[in-house]
Amino acid sequence: MRRLQLTEAEQGETDTLVGRFLDAGHDWDPLVAAEAATAAAPGLPLRLREFLAGARTAESDITVVSGIPLDPALVPTPTGWEAAAKSAAGRREEAALLLCGSVMGDAFGWESQQEGRIVHDICPAPGMESSLTSASSEKTLSLHTEDVFHPCRADYVALLCLRNPDGVGTTVASVEDVDLPAEVRGTLAEPRFRFFPDDSHSGPVPGREGGPAAYPEERVLFGPEHAPYLRFDVDFMAGADVAAAEAVRVTDALLRSSAGRVVLHPGDLVFIDNYKVVHGRDPFTPRYDGEDRWLKRVNLLRDVRRLYAQGRVRSRLVPA
């Protein structure tokens, strides 16, 4: 894990850049703002840019920046992402997230997720306490690769903490820290697994109507043999045979036993390498009093042209 604490001067530089960015009118259209953020990011403090560039080059599994300036008059935590979208809550923090995130990758979203918004709100919603989505609270979120089912899933998941009064932990486990048995490792490297969209995707999603058979059999471990990448979500994947199903069970147990916790505080920004690290969340009791845990999330690609080629259109939204 790599960490950087911004100095007061660097916080001031960042805050000034965010203000200029919003004054330029980029805040009204997230799709435009995502591209504008890339152009404006050289205005971030040099030490911050060098730190993030180094983390990207080294393929750091978890990267944390502390001291991202937040609005001193931050509004109460919305009761779900729909409420946040309607009120444009946390717009200043969205701009800060886009600016910093653009150093690591290209921001993108999903037509089927949070109504196509680029920056997502992660906060508990009434009635969703036990769901398998980020709107849940009382149910543990299992360790998972973000959007495990799709070839254009994020290279990085970036989370900016606005509130976390109860110190709710983000659970993380790296493929590099798991000693998989040789037989299991061999099975995971073969195309014997199907991956499905999670419950945060609404409306039409490619393959969903066709059921499990509509999804191709793919690998859990892929890439360099000596340091493979990982795609895994025990709740939204299935082995195609008995041995593959057992490999899923063993891998899940080993990941859970090796997992650690990252407790984000207001102003903390974490980048999770979605190719090397699975993440989840501890359960907590929601307050619904305006002081609940609240994060902003953005998905990042190291090369947005992967998305353009897959979707056959120049758009930062993965088509439904």
User: pLDDT truncated to tens, each residue of the chain (320 aa)?
Assistant: 999 999 999 999 999 999 999 999 865 676 788 999 999 999 999 999 999 999 999 999 999 999 999 999 999 999 988 888 878 889 999 999 999 999 999 999 999 888 889 999 999 999 989 888 888 999 999 999 999 999 999 999 999 999 999 999 999 999 999 999 999 999 999 999 999 998 888 765 555 555 667 789 999 999 999 999 999 999 999 999 999 999 999 999 999 999 999 999 999 999 999 999 999 999 999 999 999 999 999 999 999 999 999 888 888 999 87
Asked if residues 294 and 122 have their Cβ atoms less than 8 Å apart, the reply is yes
Ligand-binding annotation for 171, yes or no, is yes
The CATH class of 2-174+263-318 is alpha beta
pTM (2 d.p.): 0.95
Tell me: is residue 192 an annotated ligand-binding position: no
Residue 279 is labelled as binding a ligand: yes
Residue 139 is given by DSSP the state: S
Cα separation, 27 vs 94, whole angstroms: 9
Distance in angstroms (rounded) separating the CA atoms of residues 288 and 307: 37
Report helix angle 91-104 to 8-23, nearest 10.
110
Determine if residue 144 is labeled as part of a ligand binding site.
yes
Task: Compute CA 186 distance to the chain's CA centroid, rounded to the nearest angstrom.
Answer: 28
